[in-house]
Structure 1
Amino acid sequence: MSFTISTLTLEAFLLVLVRVACFTSIAPIFGHNSLNARMKISIAFFVSLILYQVVDVSLPEYTNVLGYTTLVLEEALVGLLLGFVAGLSMKALAIAGEFIDREIGFSMATTFDPNQGMVTITGELYDKIVCLVIMISNLHYYILSAAAQSFELVPVGRIVLSPDVIYTSLIQFIVQMFMIGFRIAMPVFLGATMLNVILGVLAKSSPQMNMFAIGMQLKVFVGLFLLAVCIMFVPNIANYIMERMRDMIQTILGGL
């Protein structure tokens, strides 16, 4: 029994593998630094093997090694760009955590995340809960479907870059991430603002009371209470972030 693979088949598969590997290496869930290199390589290999069976991969003409190297670099660029956009959508949680911790007095307390470095406590909490919701609800399949869709919209070796479209889309998406992060932190922000107004009125009416000491404790209590209430909205947050991620990936693919 002999098993042979043609050179063209191997070259086409390697191009698919390069795009998928670059995408999954920095995409949310699959590109987390808590996963070791073997796990990431295995995920990329088996996903590429499945996609190669269902995606029409037709190699463009090239004459030498330099031509094939150009194709590999193009596929790596597409994968890294899509993975960067997908990972950027999760930064809204870190932005929301920064806003919340600044309001309730937790901004000085940070924790280490292997994927993002030093992050705030609330940002880490939101990130872990949203990741769990994504895994439980199978929303991570949407991330893999983005890789499959990229081969339909941008076939292998058929990349035509539009820098203006990509640049404009990235700027708009970054602005949207700040807006999403602020909307997530809005309940705590409003609660802290109302508490500051109340403490200001009490400080004027009763100057002998130490409102600073009372206010610090009340901010922590009110902030934790509002966080506990807002936890029920985490599935909606995860779904909204995945929708924005999908829209942004489609926009970026339109510029390739």
Structure 2
Amino acid sequence: MGVLIGLIVAPSVPAVAAADPMSLAGFLILLQQLVIGLAMGFAMRIVFAAVEMAGEIIGLTMGFGFATFFDPQSQGHSSAISQFLSLVTLMIYLAANFHLMLVGALVNSFSTMPISAAPMGTGLFQQMASWGGRVFSAGVQLSLPIVAAA
């Protein structure tokens, strides 16, 4: 799946100066892209975790505290209501083409946070905070329709 998304996104990424993957610059580029990807994935996971938590609370208040299923994603038990709401949220996510919005946000991340082999100078923390704000903004934009629907 990751390779397929990479093949889809690669033509839209601007050309970057070559960097040796075994150098410090190559490692920093790898670390930068890893942090951006993890932040985007974490932002989407927060949305689904919120729906699962709401399902747990609803299930407990309805008296379904003992009606649980094994959830392989969280490696724990979750209530039937939580599982149901998770599946409904996933169906809404796919039916409304939000997965395409996620790929679009991934493509836009390369223009708002360009790949750079240049070492980050003294403004490292300001640049990381700026990137964090942009990633958070993209995550909120992706999550708003799902939160509104759920």
- Give the structure-2-normalised TM-score: 0.73
Q: How does 1:132-147 map to 2 (within 5 A)?
A: 132-147=91-106
Q: Does 1:56 align with 2:4?
A: no
Q: Does 1:148 align with 2:107?
A: yes
Residue 25 of structure 2: aligned partner: 67
State the distance in 2 between where 1:57 and 1:87 align.
Answer: 30
**Identity rate, percent:** 20
- Residue-pair matches, total: 133
| 8 Å CA contact 1:57, 1:156 repeated in 2 | no
State the distance in 2 between where 1:75 and 1:105 align.
Answer: 45
Write the deviation string for residues 78-103 of structure 1: whole angstroms up to 9, x where unpaired: 11111111111111211211221111
Q: Could you say which structure has the higher helix fraction? A: 1
Q: How does 1:45-124 map to 2 (within 5 A)?
A: 45-59=3-17, 65-117=23-75, 118-124=77-83
Paired amino acid for 2:63: G
Write the deviation string for residues 112-156 of structure 1: whole angstroms up to 9, x where unpaired: 122123222111101012212222332211121121111111111
Change (3 A) 1:98 1:69: same
| 8 Å CA contact 1:97, 1:123 repeated in 2 | yes
- The RMSD of aligned alpha carbons is 3.1
SS at match of 1:161: helix
Name segments (4+ residues, structure 1) moved above 6 Å. Answer: 60-64
Change (3 A) 1:71 1:106: same
Q: Does 1:239 align with 2:141?
A: no
Is the radius of gyration larger for structure 1 or structure 2? 1
| 8 Å CA contact 2:53, 2:82 repeated in 1 | yes
Q: How does 1:142-181 map to 2 (within 5 A)?
A: 142-157=101-116, 160-162=127-129
Deviation of 1:106 after TM superposition, in Å, equals 0.7
- Give the structure-1-normalised TM-score: 0.45
Residue 123 of structure 2: aligned partner: none
| 8 Å CA contact 1:57, 1:155 repeated in 2 | no
Paired amino acid for 2:91: L
More RCO (CA 8 Å, sep 6+):
2
Deviation of 1:238 after TM superposition, in Å, equals 8.6
State the distance in 1 between where 2:12 and 2:148 align.
Answer: 24
SS at match of 1:90: helix
